[in-house]
């Protein structure tokens, strides 16, 4: 065995482990290049009979019912055609290749029993307690089914943008959330399924198409797919999907192509021969870092690189995300660095690799003090932030968060900024002392704007405790987390303030002690401000919700409802812990309509953003299920 083959095997095993444990160091394209080189040099290498492992010591282990095998890859049409000529399928099924974290759902006599991660392909982590909270995992399916259902745990791009911007991408975020011991955030994840095997009956499914239809009939979320009559149809479908991928709400990185006929023996191979991952061509460019500025969002500072303009994914790119100070140091990035950038669904492209640092390249300066209040910034490597809880930047961010969480319409960030700069509003309580004249006197703010803004502000007279606390923007604490504490008996501000972190964590399902400590400390620091808001008499903390099953979700309505007025539907939404919204945004959970084929602006926008569209009947079923939970 040559030294190069040994080195390739070592590198592949190392980077497989990094990938499956959420710490990738090289791009997919770079890994595939190592793989292809080893395939050419040593096609019989034992590396091709193994998969990486994603196991941790935090969970019990459980064996798979269906091996979690890896697939061969085709990076271009030529490689795909070579594979197709070898297997000679008469018909093909081409599925989206979801870019998430693999999971096996184990059912016994139709009842969900376990959720198991990929692990080493044979044994994985038992994360059942978290999987039960995820979307798309029905507790009961057909009673005659016992076996494994394979899927990907996915985080949507809209959830990633709203809750997990600090994670590099949706896959990393999903992998981290699904393995949290406290389960926080698992309800924001979806399991999208694409394969199944009956434990005792290889003939349970007629063919691959019938299998996918059966999965959908059981209430599971199923991958998008197409039946293709020829290899040319598959190639055309890949090109079509590649053009659409940036508009999807989930990350995909190609197609999985297999024959329509089921081959049980092939499914059990370490590397199945009769299916292949037909990946998209990775769009990447080489450019030069010319400047770095630090984007401020509340108390956080995020480095953004300004680069020489290049064409990438159909647009001209002039900036790239540097993520955090640790990435800058580990990659030795500098002003003048030549870098390779890619775009994989992120809004801002990502720097994948440093190619060269010229002799005159300058160090990137990490700011040491807050530009707003002058406090010394805290550099934790993965984030840089201002610790001053009274920093004006943090206060204005808190004001904007309050308006967003309470969904107060016509009170946008521009108005908040103007009121803050004019000294009219410095804290949330100040909002409730505003008069129309305070707004009218601002530049380009007329009486109509003032009247609508204040009418909508004062229309929200009561809010649940969880939403009230979430509106104060305690770092890392959203409405879902607070509601877990509230439902465990910590149902007043005083109870939250005076709680013991260890006891709250023990009492609450899904809250770990560090999260509990953050929540309690945040309420203590902001308790006086919270009391000042309540003392205005304009808003109060409402009674307990009828149900908490829909907390964290949001609904919007378009068109006429059959069973009630829209205002009545919105009130029902609020009673069940969800938010009623008047417009469609990327963060909307559900759009309700009785005419899904209409061309209203809300429907068009929902389709573009990938928002879930449901009927009034489905909406009422959700409320019924919420009331029973």
The H-assigned helical ranges of 101-169 are: 128-131, 157-163
Same domain, 146 and 264: yes
Same domain, 264 and 121: yes
What pLDDT is recorded for position 253? 87
Find where tokens 């984007």 sit. 295
What pLDDT is recorded for position 104? 96
Same domain, 416 and 536: yes
Q: What percent of the chain has pLDDT over 70?
A: 90
Q: Give the model confidence (pLDDT) of 597-627 as tens digits.
A: 888 888 888 888 878 889 998 898 888 876 6
Least confident stretch, 12-16, 93-97, 514-518, 542-546: 542-546
Looking at the DSSP assignment, which residues form a beta bridge with residue 112? Answer: 107
Domain count, the chain: 5
What pLDDT is recorded for position 592? 94
Least confident stretch, 367-381, 520-534, 600-614: 600-614
Same domain, 167 and 267: yes
Looking at the DSSP assignment, which residues form a beta bridge with residue 294? Answer: 303
Same domain, 74 and 215: yes
What pLDDT is recorded for position 71? 82
What pLDDT is recorded for position 154? 96
Same domain, 429 and 535: yes
What pLDDT is recorded for position 543? 64
Question: Which 8-state DSSP code applies to residue 63?
Answer: E
Q: Which residues are designated catalytic?
A: 97
Same domain, 289 and 166: no
540 pLDDT above the threshold of 90: yes
494 occurs within a structural domain: yes
Q: What percent of the chain has pLDDT over 90?
A: 48
240 occurs within a structural domain: yes
What pLDDT is recorded for position 579? 78
Least confident stretch, 8-17, 166-175, 392-401, 427-436: 8-17
384 occurs within a structural domain: no
Contact present, 238 and 280 (Cβ < 8 Å): yes
Confidence at 51, pLDDT banded by 50, 70, 90 = very low
Same domain, 67 and 109: yes
566 occurs within a structural domain: yes
**Domain membership of residue 368 as a residue range:** 284-378
Same domain, 275 and 128: yes
Most confident among 42-46, 403-407, 531-535 (mean pLDDT):
531-535
Same domain, 108 and 251: yes
The C-alpha angle 503, 504, 510, rounded to 5 degrees, equals 125
Contact present, 570 and 616 (Cβ < 8 Å): no
């Amino acid at each position: 065995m040559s030294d190069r083959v040994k080195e390739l095997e070592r590198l592949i095993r190392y980077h497989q482990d990094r990938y499956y444990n959420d710490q990738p160091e090289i791009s997919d394209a770079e890994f595939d290049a190592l793989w292809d080189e080893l395939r050419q040099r040593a096609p019989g290498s034992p590396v091709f009979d193994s998969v990486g492992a994603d196991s941790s010591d935090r969970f019990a282990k459980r064996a798979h019912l269906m091996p979690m095998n890896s697939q061969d890859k085709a990076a271009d049409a030529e490689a795909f055609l070579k594979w197709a000529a070898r297997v000679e399928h008469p018909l093909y099924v081409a599925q989206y290749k979801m870019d998430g974290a693999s999971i096996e759902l184990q059912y016994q006599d139709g009842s969900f029993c376990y959720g198991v991660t990929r692990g080493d392909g044979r044994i994985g982590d038992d994360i059942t307690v978290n999987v039960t909270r995820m979307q798309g995992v029905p507790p009961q399916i057909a009673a005659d089914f016992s076996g494994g259902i394979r899927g990907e745990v996915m985080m949507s791009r809209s959830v990633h943008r709203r809750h997990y911007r600090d994670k590099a991408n949706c896959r990393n975020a999903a992998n981290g959330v699904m393995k949290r011991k406290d389960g926080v955030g698992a309800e924001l994840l979806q399991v999208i399924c694409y394969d199944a095997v009956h434990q005792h009956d290889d003939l349970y499914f007629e063919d691959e198409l019938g299998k996918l239809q059966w999965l959908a009939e059981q209430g599971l979320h199923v991958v998008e797919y197409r039946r293709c009559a020829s290899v040319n149809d598959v190639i055309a479908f890949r090109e079509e999907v590649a053009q659409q991928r940036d508009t999807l709400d989930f990350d995909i990185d190609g197609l999985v192509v297999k024959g329509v006929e089921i081959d049980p023996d092939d499914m059990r191979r370490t590397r199945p021969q009769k299916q292949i991952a037909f990946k998209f061509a990775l769009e990447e460019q080489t450019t030069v870092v010319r400047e770095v500025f630090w984007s401020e969002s509340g108390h956080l500072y995020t480095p953004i690189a300004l680069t020489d303009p290049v064409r990438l994914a159909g647009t001209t790119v002039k900036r790239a995300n540097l993520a955090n100070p640790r990435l800058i140091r580990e990659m030795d990035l500098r002003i003048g660095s030549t870098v390779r950038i890619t775009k994989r669904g992120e809004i801002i492209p990502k720097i994948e690799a440093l190619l060269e640092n010229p002799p005159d390249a300058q160090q990137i300066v990490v700011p040491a003090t807050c530009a707003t209040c002058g406090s010394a910034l805290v550099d934790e490597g993965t984030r840089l932030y201002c610790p001053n809880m009274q920093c004006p930047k943090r206060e204005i961010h808190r004001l904007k968060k309050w308006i967003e969480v309470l969904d107060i319409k016509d009170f946008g960030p521009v108005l908040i900024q103007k009121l803050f700069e004019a000294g009219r509003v410095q804290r949330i309580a100040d909002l409730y002392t505003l008069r129309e004249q305070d707004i009218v006197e601002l530049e380009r703010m007329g009486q109509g704007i003032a009247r609508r803004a204040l009418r909508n502000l004062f229309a929200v007279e009561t809010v649940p405790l969880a939403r009230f606390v979430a509106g104060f923007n305690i770092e890392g604490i959203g409405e879902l987390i607070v509601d877990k504490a509230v439902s465990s008996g910590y149902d007043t501000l005083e109870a939250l303030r005076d709680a013991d972190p260890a006891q709250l964590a023990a009492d609450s399902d899904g809250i770990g002690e560090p999260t509990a400590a953050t929540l309690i400390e945040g309420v203590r620091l902001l308790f006086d401000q919270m009391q000042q808001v309540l003392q205005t008499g304009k808003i109060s903390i409402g009674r307990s919700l009828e149900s908490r099953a829909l907390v964290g979700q949001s609904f919007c309505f378009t068109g006429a409802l059959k069973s009630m007025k829209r205002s009545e539907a919105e009130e029902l939404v609020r009673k069940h812990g969800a938010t009623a919204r008047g417009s469609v945004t990327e963060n909307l959970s559900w759009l309700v309509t009785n005419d899904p084929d209409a061309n209203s602006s809300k429907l068009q926008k929902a389709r573009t953003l990938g928002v879930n569209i449901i009927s009034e009947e489905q909406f009422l079923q959700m409320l019924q299920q919420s009331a029973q939970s």
